[in-house]
Amino acid sequence: MDNIIVQKYGGSSVGSIDRIKNVAKQIVKAKYKNNKIVVVVSAMGNTTNELIEKAMKINENPSSREMDMLLSTGEQMSISLLAMAIQELNEEVISLNGYQCKIITDDKHKKARIKDIDTIRIKNELEKEKIVIVAGFQGVSQKNDITTLGRGGSDTTAVALAAILNATRCEIYTDVDGVYTSDPRIVKGANLLDRISYDEMLELASLGAKVLHPRCVELARKYNVELVVKSSFNKCNGTEVVEVNKVENVLVRGVSLDENIAKISILEVPDEPGISYKLFDTLSKNNIQVDMIIQNINRENINDISFTVKVEDLKEVKRISNELKNKINAKDIIIDESVSKISVVGIGIAGSSNVASVFFRSLYELGVNIQMISTSEIKISCIIDKKKGREALQYVNQEFRLCSDNYVFEQEIV
């Protein structure tokens, strides 16, 4: 099936009736160009947060299954309203939830992963020249329960559909013009990138950039999906996410700040085999994603182990850590939510001796203390005091010459 375009619209793009009507016009315009259109939609505006607040007023510890049942209704409202808006423009359209288009997932509620998609229904509707609107963020387990893919999961739905339908491209529409060197809402003069590699985008997404969900970038890279990030509010060309060999030779591509993390420190753990395994295996079995890990060797054969997690997992991590505390004979557990993670990302970092120097010097000049450090071939990350995070983000951008007044693609950091 030729000329399939998958478009995804985030919550801000469909945040009001007027915006839904504007999106409908944009979709119909794309169909007029002889394309078959599949649209993935998120819940309107703050609908998901509002549903969570209502749930907490009834039960402070609801089951994950019932939360998935509740939260999936937000996208169902969006797809039906958007279908009505397209019908008003005299176009054939059908809306489908995750169950109806058979997006099959594992059974891990709130963080499910897509296992398969049965495309028969979608292809049949496209053959009838209908626009197909799919609810993002959700699927159905093999036990026939509704599941959700986690925050940002609509991006993953869109890329997964683009991959399995062999779509010409996947367009992610959001409230910014594309991918910037840093968050333009925080960093004055942040630059819009024409292109960025899958690897760089994956690092930025994993490190706190809110433009794309990391899982969707993983899928796009794996299946070589042509991915474009652009604004639903203007005609800007946006940013292409491409193979690394199609990107300019830039040393540092961007700087990100993740304020949605917490640091856990387990103090005076016995220095013996299996302690770390017991801790992190238990976290893994509870579907807790751990990021940075550091172990300090102290006196008298005891260690301190510190690691970071997402704030939304903190309640569960506290429970697990406290249960393990006595089992592994740890002295104490310290929870620190006053931290953030600042990172520099770029495909040229591994081959440069200057990037770390400039990064650490910038933090030093601001009087920022570094609590943890993590590196890879294309990124350096530091855990710092959250109060200093946004100031550090602006300053590091300036020191790497990523702001508009002095931005240079072929840069040499000195």
Q: Which domains does the chain have, with CATH numbers?
A: 4-175 (3.40.1160.10), 246-414 (3.30.2130.10)
- Lowest-confidence range among 59-73, 180-194, 374-388, 394-408? 394-408
94-146: per-residue pLDDT in tens?
Answer: 999 999 999 999 999 988 999 999 999 999 999 999 999 999 999 999 899 99
Q: Are 99 and 92 in contact (CB under 8 A)?
A: no
Q: How confident is the model over 12-28, as a mean pLDDT?
A: 94
The whole-model pTM stands at 0.81
- The reported pLDDT for the residue numbered 296 is 77
- The reported pLDDT for the residue numbered 330 is 83
Sequence-separated (6 or more) residues with CB below 8 Å from residue 33:
none
Q: Are 372 and 263 in contact (CB under 8 A)?
A: yes
Does residue 71 surpass a pLDDT of 90? yes
- The reported pLDDT for the residue numbered 291 is 86
Sign, Cα dihedral of 181, 185, 189, 192: positive
- The reported pLDDT for the residue numbered 248 is 55
- 271-275: Cβ within 8 A, 24+ apart: 271/297, 271/301, 271/302, 271/303, 272/301, 275/303, 275/305, 275/328
CA 176 to each of CA 120, 202, 236, 247, 264: distance values in angstroms, whole numbers, following the listed order: 34, 18, 10, 21, 33
Q: Which of 103-107, 327-331, 402-406 has the highest mean pLDDT?
A: 103-107
Identify which of 343, 203, 324 has the alpha carbon closest to the alpha carbon of residue 264.
Answer: 324
State the Cα–Cα distance between residues 9 and 32, nearest whole angstrom. 19
Q: Give residue 150's pLDDT band: very low, low, confident or very high (50, 70, 90).
A: confident
Mean pLDDT, all residues of the chain: 88
177-234: per-residue pLDDT in tens?
Answer: 888 888 888 888 888 888 888 888 888 877 666 778 888 999 999 999 999 999 888 8
How remote is the C-alpha of 226 from its chain's centroid? Answer: 18
**What phi and psi, each to the nearest 5 degrees, are found at residue 310?**
-70, 145
Q: Percent of the chain having pLDDT more than 90?
A: 54
